[in-house]
Amino acid sequence: MKYGVYIELFGEFYEGTVFIYGTTLLLIYAFLAIMSLVAVRKFKVLDSRVDYTLLLNSIHTPGISVIAPAYNETITILENVHSLLNLNYPKYEVIIVNDGSTDDSLEKMIAEFDLIEVDFAYNERLKTKPVKRIFRSTNLAYSKLVVVDKINGKSKADASNAGINVSSFDYFLCTDVDSILDRDAIMKLIKPIMEETDKRLIAIGATLRMANSCVVDQGFMQKVVMPKQLLPRFQEIEYIRSFVMGKMGWSTINSVPNVSGGLGLFDREIVINSGGYDPNSFGEDMELVIRMMVYCVNYNIDYSIRYIPLTLCWTEGPSTLRVYGRQRSRWARGLAQLMYAHRKVIFNPRYGKLGLIVMPYNFVFELLAPIVEALGIIYYIIIIILDAVNWPYAILLLVFVYSYAIMISTLSILWDQLTYHTYKTWREILLLCFTAMFEMIIYHPLIVFFSLKGYFNFLANRKHSWGNMQRQGFGQAAQTRAITASN
């Protein structure tokens, strides 16, 4: 039984490592849960008395550029641009980047908003695919609107970069043209920037949710409804946990790893100096945020990145397994790419919290987690076959991990409910909590599987992907949206 010895040796090593790994992860979650609760409660008390109309009346209100790339969104483009033009903020511009759409979305915008081509002094500070034309409206009511027509760059990153080049204000809000924003989104996001004491707030985000079953009328959120389909509902739980508990918790110690591409307010100068979005990245939002942090450390800028526990953006989540799988594999691949590109930062004390908290956490507990889990399952199968399982211990540990996971998800839902009664009925919340119980056996294996697929793609195509990029999920997201919107 030579193999048995090896397996036993591996087993001891694996069990020891996994024990430390698991305990650390559980402690981190407990920490995040406590920190985010404190932060959420504090936010709620103070925000209720904030007079946001101060921003409307002051000539000192900072200007904001809202950047939304669009690719073949003809069905919803007019409604969505209208809704972006209707945010509660006195000084902002809306930049729609038409990324070489092959449908008639540009023509539709030209007709609806009385657009004409203008001689625009375009300063290409970030290199992108060529910008063909820039349009402004002759109708004073749409004077906020800028439409950029560019050659398709096969990525949201390239289109966003063109938008950044056109933008005229110090801060820009990055979103998708098919996302639905809360009308107060800019006011809520700019306030922390104006309240930052001695650090430079380079990026700020807020909670994103699923728009799948919500009632949307002419680009406006009429009624928030919890996703009726199972897959988006699992994603809703995942988003709440990752935003309200994860990012809010990390925000309290200034270690937010990512500001989502769906909604984020960024410091334009830092973004441009750190090189803008990377069109070759599979996870361009996180990649940019990490690169901005690296830039700030390199140039001795005392930065901060924050989160606010309000849902300010709704986005359509994939509702079929195929689309979902592609999205997750892409994200996983993006994470692997990112960790590889910035491997020198991991555990590097020179980078402060970025080097010692943000990168190690994401490397060990985000990137490696699917691998550790997969190995665990294989290991279990082997010892089951060898009949070397201590069943009662195994069951007790499993029950423990399972109940802990459910607790974390349920607490996130509770924290989220503290700030705002998102759903109209209590039945929705209970159903959401109920769904959380099956997350680990139904939804979680999917994440592990698609992540591993993404890592495999990363390893298999590493050289290839540098020069030659496949179209990313941007177009994919557009498709799903178009399909659901036409229903």
| Residues between 367 and 396 with contacts to other proteins, criterion CB under 8 A | 391-393, 396
CB of 214 to other proteins, least distance (A): 15
CB of 227 to other proteins, least distance (A): 18
Among 2, 49, 322, 463, binds other proteins (CB under 8 A): 49
CB of 285 to other proteins, least distance (A): 26
Smaller CB separation from other proteins, 116 or 459: 116
Smaller CB separation from other proteins, 42 or 127: 42
Among 8, 112, 196, 373, binds other proteins (CB under 8 A): 196
- Give the tokens for residue 143: 């004077």
- Other Cβ atoms closer than 10 A to 309: 25
Give the contacts of 247 (CB within 8 A, at least 6 positions apart).
Answer: 205, 256, 257, 258, 307
Amino acid present at 487: N
Residue numbers 419-448 binding other proteins by CB under 8 A: 421, 426, 429-430, 433
Smaller CB separation from other proteins, 254 or 337: 254
CB of 5 to other proteins, least distance (A): 23
Among 229, 273, 410, 479, binds other proteins (CB under 8 A): 410
CB of 85 to other proteins, least distance (A): 7
Residue numbers 64-93 binding other proteins by CB under 8 A: 82, 85-86, 88, 90-91, 93
Specify burial of residue 227 (Cβ count, 10 A radius: 0-12, 13-18, 19+). buried
Smaller CB separation from other proteins, 106 or 478: 106
Residue numbers 291-320 binding other proteins by CB under 8 A: none
CB of 263 to other proteins, least distance (A): 19
CA quadruple 372, 358, 314, 35: dihedral sign: positive
Give the contacts of 188 (CB within 8 A, at least 6 positions apart).
Answer: 52, 182, 206, 308, 310, 312
116 lines the binding site for other proteins (CB under 8 A): yes
411 lines the binding site for other proteins (CB under 8 A): yes
CB of 177 to other proteins, least distance (A): 18
CB of 416 to other proteins, least distance (A): 10
Among 7, 28, 151, 407, binds other proteins (CB under 8 A): 407
Give the contacts of 92 (CB within 8 A, at least 6 positions apart).
Answer: 63, 64, 65, 66, 144, 169, 186
Smaller CB separation from other proteins, 116 or 253: 116
Report the residue count for the chain.
Answer: 487
31 lines the binding site for other proteins (CB under 8 A): no
Smaller CB separation from other proteins, 6 or 400: 400
Among 42, 223, 344, 462, binds other proteins (CB under 8 A): 42
Residue numbers 453-472 binding other proteins by CB under 8 A: none
- Other Cβ atoms closer than 10 A to 420: 13
Count of residues near other proteins by CB under 8 A: 73
CB of 53 to other proteins, least distance (A): 5
Smaller CB separation from other proteins, 173 or 354: 173
Among 198, 349, 463, 487, binds other proteins (CB under 8 A): 198
d(CA 67, CA 93): 8
Name which of 266, 239, 221 is nearest 80 in CA terms.
221
Among 397, 442, 459, 460, binds other proteins (CB under 8 A): 397
d(CA 396, CA 376): 16
Residue numbers 174-193 binding other proteins by CB under 8 A: 183, 191, 193
- Give the tokens for residue 454: 């993404």
142 lines the binding site for other proteins (CB under 8 A): yes
Smaller CB separation from other proteins, 3 or 391: 391
d(CA 95, CA 202): 20
CB of 152 to other proteins, least distance (A): 24
218 lines the binding site for other proteins (CB under 8 A): yes
